[in-house]
């Protein structure tokens, strides 16, 4: 009996360990190309620091905006408040299934070749500016936020909201004191997934905002510039940074998940 259990455990452990090892080998393989000192030097360059700063700022802004705009829409979809909710959901999820470059190109056409688009561009200066980064990243990230939030709201039984209403809480207060805390796990996940996805966003950003040094140069765009310019040292530094940022973000995500589960908030 015990033997079988141990064999079973082995069947889970072996592939997990092998895959993790495989990932480590792949992720670190780039670094044998370059001297550590070159990487260190690039790390302190002004350009790379600019790219890190810009990436963090745009990703944070985009994740926050997507969350704020995601809550009412995801809630409406989860509770079936809007007639034709499925059509709405489909429309809002389309960018999720498109190659990011296609999203960027579509946005570029909109802002340069349509009347409302050009008007917006004139007002806010979007094409080939850092604001373009925000717009491009938003379109890529918003569908993810919507999905995760909707799942979260689905898991909150409306009976809790009903009780809250009868106890004197308005719809808005109920959202703040009951629905959001009960879906806090999903809200956190949505934010972090959006943040991580925005950090790595390249296709849509480069198409709409361009690859302009010290202007629209996020980590992925800086990486693109250094690789095409043959600057291997800074490329490696950027790759390392993106790995570290991704690692830290994902780890935080997992920690927060565990914490909200420990609080019993996740149970529906």
Partner 1 sequence: MKALLVQDLWVKRGKNIVLKGVSLEADERSILVVLGPNAAGKTTLLDAIAGIVIPFRGLIEIMGRIVYSSNNPKVFVPPEKRKVALVPQEYALFPHMSVYENIAFGLRAKKLSREQIRAKVMHVAEILGITSILDKRPDQLSGGQQQRVALARALAVEPDLLLLDEPFSAMDAPTRERMRSELKRLLKELGITTVMVTHSFADAWALGDVIVVLKDGKKIAGAHPRELIEKPLNHGVAEFLGYIVLKGRVEHVEHNVVILEAPGLLALRVQQVNTSLFKPGSCVLIAFRPDDVVLSKKPLSDVNTFTAKIEEVSFTRYGVRLIIDVGSLKLSVEAPRGPLTVLVGAKLSPGDKVFVHIPPNIINITPCQTD
C-beta closer to partner 1: residue 49 or 263? 263
Q: Is the dihedral of CA 161, 171, 193, 197 positive or negative?
A: positive
Q: Nearer to partner 1 by C-beta: 131 or 165?
A: 165
**Do 190 and 67 contact (CB within 8 A), yes or no?**
yes
Nearest distance in Å: CB 188, partner 1: 13
Q: Which of 199, 190, 187 is nearest to 244 (CA)?
A: 199
**Is the separation of the CB atoms in 204 and 103 below 8 Å?**
yes
| Shortest reach from residue 160's CB to partner 1, in Å | 5
Encoded tokens for 260:
């909200």
Cβ at position 91, least distance to partner 1 in Å: 24
Q: Give the residues lining the site for partner 1 (CB under 8 A).
A: 157, 159-160, 162-170, 173, 177-178, 181-182, 184, 263-265, 267
Q: Dig out the tokens for 10 from the structure.
A: 């082995």
Q: How far is the CB of 256 from partner 1 (least distance, A)?
A: 15
Print burial letters for 249-262: b (CB count within 10 Å at least 16), e (below 16).
Answer: beeebeebbeebee
């Amino acid at each position: 009996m015990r033997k079988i259990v141990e064999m079973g455990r082995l069947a889970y452990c072996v592939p997990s360990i092998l895959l993790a090892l495989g990932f480590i080998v792949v992720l670190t393989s780039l670094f044998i190309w370059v001297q550590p000192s070159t990487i260190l030097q690039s790390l302190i360059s002004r350009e790379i620091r600019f790219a890190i700063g810009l990436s963090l700022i745009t990703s944070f802004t985009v994740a926050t905006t997507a969350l704020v705009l995601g809550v009412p829409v995801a809630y409406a979809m989860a509770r079936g408040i809007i007639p034709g909710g499925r059509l709405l959901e489909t429309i809002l999820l389309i960018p999720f299934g498109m190659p990011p470059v296609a999203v960027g190109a579509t946005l570029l056409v909109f802002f340069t070749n349509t009347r409302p688009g050009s008007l917006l561009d004139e007002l806010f200066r979007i094409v080939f500016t850092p604001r373009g980064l925000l717009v491009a990243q938003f379109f890529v990230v918003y569908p993810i936020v919507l999905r995760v939030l909707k799942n979260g709201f689905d898991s909150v039984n409306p009976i809790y909201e009903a009780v809250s209403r009868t106890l004197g809480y308005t719809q808005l207060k109920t959202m703040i004191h009951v629905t959001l805390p009960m879906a806090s796990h999903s809200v956190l996940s949505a934010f972090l997934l959006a943040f991580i996805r925005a950090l790595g966003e390249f296709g849509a950003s480069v198409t709409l905002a361009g690859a302009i040094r010290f202007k629209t140069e996020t980590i992925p765009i800086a990486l693109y510039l250094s690789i095409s310019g043959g600057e291997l040292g800074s490329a490696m530094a950027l790759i390392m940074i993106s790995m570290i940022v991704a690692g830290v973000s994902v780890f935080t995500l997992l920690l927060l998940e565990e914490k909200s589960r420990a609080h019993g908030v996740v149970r529906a």
